[in-house]
A and B are shown apart, each in its own frame.
Chain A
Amino acid sequence: MSTSGSEVVRHADGNGAVGEPLPDRFDNPGLPPHRSRLTDTDPAAARRATRQVVALFTLSILGTIGFVVAYALVPDGDTIASVRLSNLLLGLGLFLAMFGIGAAAIHWAKTLMSVRDVAEDRHPQRSSTKDREAAVAVLREGAEDSGIARRGVLKGAVVSALVLAPLTIAVPLIGEVGGDWRVSTLRHTLWERGKRLTRDPSGTPIKAEDVTVGSVFHVIPDGLREGENADHWIEEKAKAVVLMVRLDPADLKEADDRKDWSYEGIVAYSKICTHVGCPVALYERQTHHLLCPCHQSTFDIADGARVIFGPANRPLPQLPITVDDEGYLVAQSDFTEPIGPSYWERLK
């Protein structure tokens, strides 16, 4: 802005008003000039608009009739095709019936109803002095009548009652927040020494010889839905689900302290992602990669479920397994660390 003072142009937006300050008040610009519509000046256009409105209402009527006819003549039936046809016809009828009325009303108002320009002035919000004085007088009279200034006990009683009443809401609310967070349940799953690995969802035990190289088994603990778990088995399942694969032992890299956690190349890992707990189950046989569908965390099953891509921060917990006397796969113990995503008390 290097314009000289004599060439300054007055801009309402203030950007170019180098020389002159903005006025305190702008003048009322008034209403824009009235503009006639085509339907105001041309009778043919008005007749056309009338016909269009009538057509839209007629469309609505046809939609309603179509809906009723479809309801009566096209039942939803037993097949998916008949359900789809019924839904389509009912939906189409409903749409035309409603949209026709709405569109006709708007079109009618926009093209045919009068277009007087109306300006509504703002009114002061303050009540009249007389009303205000009357209101204050009524309040003062009430306070004097109650005698609250003279009777101290009464004042104390009413204040106490009003202060204490919200406790009926606050106490249960705060009481629920405190108390038992049941953090310990996050630390343990149903797996324990000697618990058989069974197929999800049938619950049948798995022999080590059934798990061929390249196979993947989705595993739940034996007796998941029995005994004391019967009413909350789904929570227990959500913690205990395991993915079990058999790799060529030559492909398997195992840490020294985990060498006895696998059996002949069969490894079992928690299926709960360590990022935010989605079920990690997209197993790629050739690369031994296990992919989480939620945020693409990728774990290398051949290398201790190491994180090789994505937001997960820890490997999936490994379930130590072995076989029992009958050749069925069993757990050696529970997981040795909490499964799933991090939480405050995880490392305590």
Chain B
Amino acid sequence: MKAIADRRHHRMAPVVLLVMALLITGAVYAALTPTPAGATVATQTDVDAGRALFQANCATCHGTGARGGDGVPSLIGVGAAAVDFQVSTGRMPMQASGPQAAEKPPVLDAEQTRQLAAYVASLGPGPSIPAADQVDPAKGDPATGMALFRTNCAMCHGATGKGGALTEGKSAPSLGDATPTQIYEAMLTGPASMPVFNDANLTPEEKRDVIALLDEQKAGSPGGADLGGVGPVSEGLWTWVVGMGLLIGCAVWIGAKSS
């Protein structure tokens, strides 16, 4: 300890402390990040609680009967899957109107979301929340998932699922933070600009393959920093500005006279 104490005024000490602080913050964050809860069977109590939540949080726009109108979609027949997706990703309740509903920390907790989904599902038949088995990445085949993702998803969400721009301020979100259940629900219900991929287009097994592929992406890029995964824009910026800048700096140093 004496050796460390002696060096506490060393000019590298702040740098070492900063690196240690960053490492500790990262480790604590990784340990404390919550894991999503699974779906369970809805009861009449849930439906009643969900109705109360609906009146408090949703009825302002969607109407007390959930019929929508004036640009606001009706929720009759959208099913529990659509509610779970929209509410658990924080898109609904919507904070402000814009090109598309923004992702934000969820307003309702998992239990409230489940009750709200049970209420909306009781209004009319629609896609239900997938079971844990349907979205288990370990049971999917990432290779098949890649072929399907490349054809059906990559044009908007990018080859590695990092998202991309659409028209008029809309965008396809990054899939990195989405849970397997949310990915499944998005394919099933087609939120906002996204088309619907019903079970006749992508079967439940194929949806699970896509989820398995996206789960593999969480291991990171084998080539090092992915620079946002948006392709030549960020890579070109890095190469031309930082890479060429360093080379020019070296050339200037080589050519400069020594003092």
B195 engages A81 (CB within 8 Å): no
A83 engages B222 (CB within 8 Å): yes
A84 engages B222 (CB within 8 Å): yes
What does DSSP make chain B's interface, helix, strand, loop or mixed?
loop
Q: A215-B201, A218-B152 are in contact. Are A37 and B259 (CB under 8 A)?
A: yes
Residue B49 interfacial (CB < 8 Å): no
Q: Mark A102-144, 1 if CB is under 8 A from B, else 0.
A: 0000100011000000000000000000000000000000000
Write out the residue numbers on chain B whose beta carbons fall within 8 Å of the beta carbon of A37: 257-259
Residue B196 interfacial (CB < 8 Å): yes
Q: Mark A287-321, 1 if CB is under 8 A from B, else 0.
A: 10101010010100000000001000000000000
Residue B35 interfacial (CB < 8 Å): no
Write out the residue numbers on chain B whose beta carbons fall within 8 Å of the beta carbon of A81: 219-220
A211-225 residues with Cβ-Cβ distance < 8 A to B are 211-212, 214-218
Residue B167 interfacial (CB < 8 Å): yes
Identity of the chain B residue whose Cβ is nearest the Cβ of A292 in the assembled complex:
B155
Cα separation A140 to B238 with both chains bound (whole Å): 63
Residue B14 interfacial (CB < 8 Å): no
A284 engages B201 (CB within 8 Å): no
B200 engages A287 (CB within 8 Å): no
A293 engages B155 (CB within 8 Å): yes
A214 engages B190 (CB within 8 Å): yes
B148 engages A212 (CB within 8 Å): no
Write out the residue numbers on chain A whose beta carbons fall within 8 Å of the beta carbon of B197: 215-216
Report the minimum CB–CB distance from B82 to chain A (whole Å). 12
Q: A81-B219, A282-B156 are in contact. Are A215 and B224 (CB under 8 A)?
A: no
Write out the residue numbers on chain A whose beta carbons fall within 8 Å of the beta carbon of B221: 80, 84
Residue A188 interfacial (CB < 8 Å): no
A200's partner among B151, B193, B219, B259 (CB-CB below 8 A) is B151
Residue B147 interfacial (CB < 8 Å): yes
Report the minimum CB–CB distance from B250 to chain A (whole Å). 8
What does DSSP make chain A's interface, helix, strand, loop or mixed?
mixed
The size class of the interface chain B forms with chain A is 20 to 34
Cα separation A84 to B220 with both chains bound (whole Å): 9
B221-255 residues with Cβ-Cβ distance < 8 A to A are 221-224, 253-254
Residue A199 interfacial (CB < 8 Å): yes
B190 engages A289 (CB within 8 Å): no
The size class of the interface chain A forms with chain B is 35 or more
Q: A200-B151, A214-B190 are in contact. Are A39 and B258 (CB under 8 A)?
A: yes
A285's partner among B194, B253, B257, B258 (CB-CB below 8 A) is B194
A210 engages B198 (CB within 8 Å): yes
Write out the residue numbers on chain A whose beta carbons fall within 8 Å of the beta carbon of B147: 201
Cα separation A199 to B201 with both chains bound (whole Å): 8
Cα separation A285 to B168 with both chains bound (whole Å): 14
B68-122 residues with Cβ-Cβ distance < 8 A to A are none
Q: A38-B259, A81-B219 are in contact. Are A201 and B192 (CB under 8 A)?
A: no
Residue A168 interfacial (CB < 8 Å): no
Cα separation A296 to B166 with both chains bound (whole Å): 9
B201 engages A217 (CB within 8 Å): yes
Write out the residue numbers on chain B whose beta carbons fall within 8 Å of the beta carbon of A38: 258-259
Q: Mark A5-46, 1 if CB is under 8 A from B, else 0.
A: 000000000000000000000000000000101110000000
Cα separation A6 to B258 with both chains bound (whole Å): 45
Q: A37-B258, A210-B201, A212-B196 are in contact. Are A284 and B167 (CB under 8 A)?
A: yes
Write out the residue numbers on chain B whose beta carbons fall within 8 Å of the beta carbon of A35: 257
A218 engages B195 (CB within 8 Å): no
Residue A87 interfacial (CB < 8 Å): yes
Write out the residue numbers on chain B whose beta carbons fall within 8 Å of the beta carbon of A217: 201
Write out the residue numbers on chain B whose beta carbons fall within 8 Å of the beta carbon of A195: none
Report the minimum CB–CB distance from B191 to chain A (whole Å). 9
Cα separation A304 to B259 with both chains bound (whole Å): 71
Residue A62 interfacial (CB < 8 Å): no
Q: A83-B222, A88-B224, A210-B201 are in contact. Are A106 and B253 (CB under 8 A)?
A: yes
B193 engages A245 (CB within 8 Å): no
Residue A63 interfacial (CB < 8 Å): no
Residue A283 interfacial (CB < 8 Å): yes
Write out the residue numbers on chain B whose beta carbons fall within 8 Å of the beta carbon of A286: 192-193
Write out the residue numbers on chain A whose beta carbons fall within 8 Å of the beta carbon of B193: 284-287
Residue A61 interfacial (CB < 8 Å): no
Write out the residue numbers on chain B whose beta carbons fall within 8 Å of the beta carbon of A39: 258
Report the minimum CB–CB distance from A273 to chain B (whole Å). 12
A228-262 residues with Cβ-Cβ distance < 8 A to B are 245
Residue A101 interfacial (CB < 8 Å): no
B196 engages A284 (CB within 8 Å): no
Q: A88-B224, A200-B151 are in contact. Are A291 and B258 (CB under 8 A)?
A: no
A291's partner among B166, B201, B224 (CB-CB below 8 A) is B166
Q: Mark B155-193, 1 if CB is under 8 A from A, else 0.
A: 110000000101110101000000000000000001011
Cα separation A88 to B166 with both chains bound (whole Å): 35
Cα separation A29 to B59 with both chains bound (whole Å): 87
Residue A281 interfacial (CB < 8 Å): yes
Report the minimum CB–CB distance from B83 to chain A (whole Å). 17
Cα separation A106 to B196 with both chains bound (whole Å): 62
Rank and list the top 7 A-B pairs by shortest CB-CB distance, nearest first: A210-B200, A216-B195, A281-B155, A284-B193, A80-B219, A110-B258, A214-B196
Chain A to chain B contacts (Cβ below 8 Å), 20 pairs: A80-B219, A80-B221, A88-B224, A199-B201, A206-B200, A210-B198, A210-B200, A211-B200, A212-B196, A212-B200, A215-B190, A215-B195, A216-B195, A216-B196, A218-B152, A283-B195, A284-B166, A285-B193, A287-B168, A309-B167
